[in-house]
Amino acid sequence: MRLVGILQIRSYEKIKEFLHEEHVGRLSSIDVNGFPQIIPMNFVFLNDAVYMHSHVKGEKLDNISRNNKVGFEADRELEFLPSYFEDPHNASLADTLYISVVIKGIGIFVSDRDEKTLALNGLMKKYQPEGQYDPIESDMRVLDAVSIIKVIPKTIHGKYKIGQHLKPKDRLDLAKNILKKNSPTSTQTLKIMGFEETTDGLRMIDEPIW
């Protein structure tokens, strides 16, 4: 079965929704010896670009100064599917339900104070949604103490695997197995898959199409 097209996220709104929810992304740059360096980063997706804050000195900053072509990735493992869901002996049948977004783009350092303020306030709003802080202003000295890395996407590719590649009966059987396994993430996974637990058992109430 050819899965690439089936697993592709076609909705840009879904990609943005996912990036708004994820707390850790990974920035990839090329070091002085030509090797990729991958760093986990807090980030915010604003105005179709990725913003991250950093110390004013560091290897990733040096890398981007030399070569501004960068990669950025965020992913979420929804559920590990043990092989025994399908066969009690064949370990090769283990699988994972997931969501991921991969960006290739250009990394720049934001110097405009208004844009730096926008990025920092966006980060605060994302990671501290309960508030209880004073918004950052463009004339504050804190803007001089941090670097803001902006990734301008050239390409954005998203993939998701939530059972959409399965026949309806097989998808329901998978959902039942996830419910029975009762992992810490099972309830949320079933919701993302479009299932709801009712008095009559699991029922698909939504056909998620991304």
Residue pLDDT, tens place only, 74-95: 999 999 999 999 999 999 999 9
Distance, in Å, from the CA atom of 190 to the CA atom of 13, rounded to the nearest integer, reads 21
pLDDT tens-digit readout, 26-68: 999 999 999 999 999 999 999 999 999 999 999 999 999 999 9
Give the residue, 181 or 199, on which the prediction is more confident.
Answer: 181
Domain ranges of the chain: 8-161, 165-209
Distance, in Å, from the CA atom of 14 to the CA atom of 10, rounded to the nearest integer, reads 8
Distance, in Å, from the CA atom of 105 to the CA atom of 70, rounded to the nearest integer, reads 6
Pick the CATH number of 8-161 from 1.10.4080.10, 2.30.110.10, 3.30.70.3270, 2.40.160.20: 2.30.110.10
Distance, in Å, from the CA atom of 189 to the CA atom of 97, rounded to the nearest integer, reads 8
Residue 209 is predicted with a pLDDT of: 86
Q: Indicate if the pLDDT at residue 2 is higher than 70.
A: no
Q: Indicate if the pLDDT at residue 199 is higher than 90.
A: no
Residue 130: how many other CB atoms lie within 10 Å: 5
Going by pLDDT thresholds of 50, 70 and 90, the confidence category of residue 206 is confident
The sheet that has 36-41: what strands, in order across it?
36-41, 25-30, 69-81, 95-109, 147-161, 49-54, 44-46
Angle between helices 168-181 and 186-193 (to 10 degrees): 160
